[in-house]
Chains A and B, each alone.
Chain A
Amino acid sequence: MHLLRVSGAFVTQFLFEVRKVSVQRGQRILLSDFDLQVAPHDVVHLVGPNGCGKTSLMRVMAGLVSPASGDVAWCGVALPSGRAAFHQNLAWLGHQVGLKADLTLRENIEFDNALRRQHENPLIDEIMEALAIDHRSTVLARGLSAGQRRRVALARVLLSDAQLWLLDEPFANLDTSGVDFVLSLISEHSAKGGACVFAAHQQLAMKDTPVRRLQWGQGTE
């Protein structure tokens, strides 16, 4: 049973549920009857070799692709009916970072912010500094390294104030300190009552935060 939000306080058991989802790529079933319940403070790590369907599953969870069977629900409401509510509480980090090469780093970040919220975010400078990209803010995005682009995408995730983070390979192209930093961001997010589901092929150690690790698949590549 699913209770809905009452006067701003969240009383339902789960934020986000994946119910009996099957994921298909082409003709091949990659996953069937996959279940996942995510409550506030939860951190879920999807592990698996390349080709096991992590990205396909992430895209289904984000509502970009409809599942072959089963459904994805936000606060007990299955997509696509609660899509706007879900997406306004979702921060997504995909393989492509969604930067316009002809705009500066800051213009890119400000656009994402303007798209998602009405007013200017006072934290933009602070977050850019925390991600060590503030010194590049007037550089056109085409001049950024792959790691820096990843950091911009992470800045966008932080600025979104979303309660659920879906991060697909958030550590790609990041150096060691970058990986540690992202892990600390996830811990902080979880401590604040957020939830995070991320896919990464490597094993990661997180201190203070309990992580649910889901592993499957032998892969094909």
Chain B
Amino acid sequence: MIGASLQVVSPSLRPFGTFSTVLRRELQLAYRRPADLLNPLFFFAVVTSLFPIAVSPLPDVLALIGPGVIWIAALLAALLPLSTHYAHDYEDGTLEQYLLSGQSLVAICIAKTVALWLVAGLPLVLASLVVSGSYGLAPSTFAVMSITLAGGSYALCALGAVAAALTVGVQRASAMIALLVLPLMVPVLIFGTRAISMAATNLPAKGPIYLVLAVTLLAALLSPIATAAALRISME
């Protein structure tokens, strides 16, 4: 016989332990499946290199469209992993285990969003710095671009997590996720591209940067609660 006699345990919530456990596993899984990390990056590289071919290779034109192209390509690339964000967990039964773990589902959702951003968002920020050089953007814009893209991609991951949780169990959910998320990203897109354009012309870009970060903060705070609620509904 294994173990002593059983007793009812009183509940103990360990949100930080849950967060780090889930985050560690998500990163471990991403490490085992490098395609998930590389797909958005390749997509981003291909889209951003097609624009100069299709539009115009003139430096002036490229510098003008650069911020917009980089932002849109990054947003679309970051959408790619969203359709499987909760779908895999749903299909293999992990989601049931999460819901029945007796631990905070919100902490689990935050960990999954942070992991998604580390795997799909952060590499895009770094890649955008490389790409911006080929669009002739001034080095003075790099800091602004990194900050706004880092914030914007986190906002996208956070909003996307809600959409992914709502569409768990739905066939071919990726189009629906894009429809749900992209309209909500419009403010971030406007302020983000504006900030880079302003920095490129040596105007103070603090205003739009703060607005991007404000939207990001709002999304980051509210999304885990909405995601957790959406997951409970989707399991019914």
Interface residues of B (CB under 8 A from A): 1-14, 17-18, 21-22, 25, 28-29, 32-33, 91-94, 96-103, 235-236
Partner of B7, one of A8, A111, A112: A8
Count, chain A residues at interface, CB 8 A: 51
Question: Are A107 and B28 closer than 8 Å at their CB atoms?
Answer: yes
Proximity string of chain A (97-112) to chain B, C-beta cutoff 8 Å, 1 when within and 0 when not: 1111111000100011
Complexed CA–CA distance, A40 and B123 (Å):
53
| B102 near A96: Cβ-Cβ < 8 Å | no
Segment 114-133 of A: residues with Cβ below 8 Å from B: 114-116, 118, 123, 126-127, 130
Select which of A64, A100, A118 is within 8 A of B235 by beta carbon.
A64
**Complex Cα spacing A115 to B32, Å:** 20
Which residue on B lies nearest to A194, using beta carbons? B6
* B97 and A115 form a contact (CB under 8 A): yes
> Smallest CB–CB gap between B222 and chain A, Å?
21
Contact A193–B92 (Cβ < 8 Å): no
Chain A interface helix/strand/loop/mixed: loop
Chain B interface, DSSP helix/strand/loop, else mixed: loop
Inter-chain CA distance A160–B98, complex, in Å, is 14
A188 close to chain B: CB less than 8 A:
yes
How far is it, in angstroms, between the C-alpha of A123 and the C-alpha of B18 when the chains are bound? 21
Q: Which residues of A contact B21 (CB under 8 A)?
A: 111, 114-115
Asked if A163 and B7 make an inter-chain contact with CB atoms under 8 angstroms apart, the answer reads yes
Separation of A145 and B200 alpha carbons in the complex (Å): 58
From B17, which residue of chain A is reached at the shortest CB distance?
A118
Complex Cα–Cα for A115 and B33 (A): 22
CB neighbours (8 Å) of B28 from chain A are: 103, 107
Among A65, A96, A115, chain B packs the most CB atoms within 10 A around the CB of A115
- Cβ–Cβ < 8 Å partners of A191 in chain B: 1
Question: How far is B235's CA from A66's CA once the two chains are assembled, in angstroms?
Answer: 10
